[in-house]
Amino acid sequence: MRLLVITAMTMFFVSFMKGDVVFGQADTEAMRQELQALKDRLDAQDEEIKYLRLKVAREELLKVAEPELEEKAEKVVKDYMETPEAKKKIADLSPAKLKAGYGKKGFYLESLDGKFHLAMSGRVQVLYTFNDRERDINTDGSHTSPGDRDTSSFRLRRGRLVWDGHAFTKELKYYFQLETPGTSQGTHLLDYYVDYSGLPEIGKYVAIKGGQFKVPFSRERIDSSSALQLVDRSIVNAEFNLDRDVGVDFHRELLGKKLEYHLGMFTGLGINRRNENVDNGMLYMGRIAWHPFGFFDYKETDLDYSEKLQSTLGFGIAHKKGDEIYTGFARAAVGKKITMNIYTWDGGLRYKGFSLLGSAFLRRLREPGVSANKTTDETDAIGYSVQGGYFVLPKRLELAARYAWLDRDFNKHKSTVGRPIGEGGNSRTLGSDEEITLGLNYYFSGHKNKIQADVSRLSDGFLRSSPASLVNDDKEAWRLRLQYQLAF
């Protein structure tokens, strides 16, 4: 545009010259000055245009870059706030020395420097059960020992209080869990342990856990009872689980939590037992699990509606030799030197509301022979279970099913006694048991607020009302359960 104006002015000047218009020297100089002033104004306009273009480009760039810059700034601030220096400054400036609130693990108290944290939570399970027994041998039962009659009852299945957190450092964690009065198990301490992952040099490879807690042997037993897919665990878990015990566990998750291992040594006498362990007959165990797509947590449903496939494979082994064996219902009388080896395999997957879990067990018990022609008495027990579920309404309504089977002495030709080793005075005979269960769950607020119902066809021996009723006579029974859980 500037060039066009200059050209026009030049042509105008030439036309005057051709028209014999004579200007004086003063007029010519004034025209030159006017042309220069016009040129200066055009240059200034060009500079303004360039400035406005740069400003528009800057605004457009900021629209794209601003969210990313904000995220980086937030991360820098957050990282700094986690440093000991920042926490100390906040603690020194604040009149309060504790912060409180409600989080994923319940109500909590925490020091401003983050060195101490205490979370408090609780849960209650109210259970209704109806047992329909097909046989009716003992009709003289009572409310404390109903014999073989049908039963219908409410009870407080679980009522628990939990305190957990860390002390002095986040690497030193503690956990206490108490079973409250009025439950089927009565008041007692379930878990009390500390877990330290800050060992110098090797802390990222091994952590040490010591106290009383679940022996980390089989997935179904490790799964929290607050996050089960059906009202309770399977008959296979009841028979083969190692439950809680006092001991130590070396463990860690490696390779981005894809590989998990446990190496443990326990007293081997079960929960809250004060007996002396004769002849140093400790329980030794190991477990390894592979989670190819990331850590597969110990919950039984796909409540989170996983967008990516999750899976796991695990293997566990346990060994104990001594005067007393504790595993499921099997116990050895004091005085019998029994050797126990137990193995488990488990696996699972989750994807978009669908979940599948499976496990298998082999238990081998050996004791000195009771006959002249045999040096060892052997009892092998096997069992397996498969269960799955699907959310027909994502994160709300789930259908579930389970099949489980076990045989306490499948190598009967090797046994010289009329009952499995370790059954003591039980009148339950050798044989297999089976469970078929169908369930329906509705989640109001995840596992913290849910209602579950299931119906099962069982071998009648598992509807036990007293130790003397553990008789397997190949009869069937039906069980209906309805349970509500509230956790806070």
pLDDT digits (tens, 9 = 90+) for 423-472: 443 334 456 789 999 999 999 999 999 999 999 998 755 555 443 344 44
What does the pLDDT average to over 89-116?
Answer: 80
Cβ neighbors of 359 (< 8 A, separation 6 or more) are 218, 219, 220, 236, 344, 345, 346, 347, 384, 385
Cβ neighbors of 12 (< 8 A, separation 6 or more) are none
* Gap between the Cα atoms of 343 and 286, Å rounded: 10
pLDDT band, very low/low/confident/very high, at 26 (cuts 50, 70, 90) = low
Residue 15 confidence (pLDDT) above 70: no
Higher-confidence residue: 364 or 430? Answer: 364
Condensed to tens digits (0 to 9), the pLDDT of residues 53-81 reads 777 777 777 666 666 666 777 777 777 77
Give pLDDT, residue 270: 81
Higher-confidence residue: 60 or 370? Answer: 60
* Gap between the Cα atoms of 413 and 235, Å rounded: 25
- The three-state secondary structure class of 120 is strand
The architecture CATH gives domain 120-487: Beta Barrel (2.40)
Give pLDDT, residue 62: 66
Condensed to tens digits (0 to 9), the pLDDT of residues 382-426 reads 999 999 999 999 999 999 999 999 988 776 655 444 344 444 433
* Gap between the Cα atoms of 116 and 280, Å rounded: 38
Contact 462, 449 (CB under 8 A): no
| Average predicted confidence (pLDDT) for the chain | 80
Give pLDDT, residue 137: 44
Report the relative pairing of strands 244-254 and 259-266 from DSSP bridges. Answer: antiparallel
Condensed to tens digits (0 to 9), the pLDDT of residues 277-296 reads 766 788 999 999 999 999 99
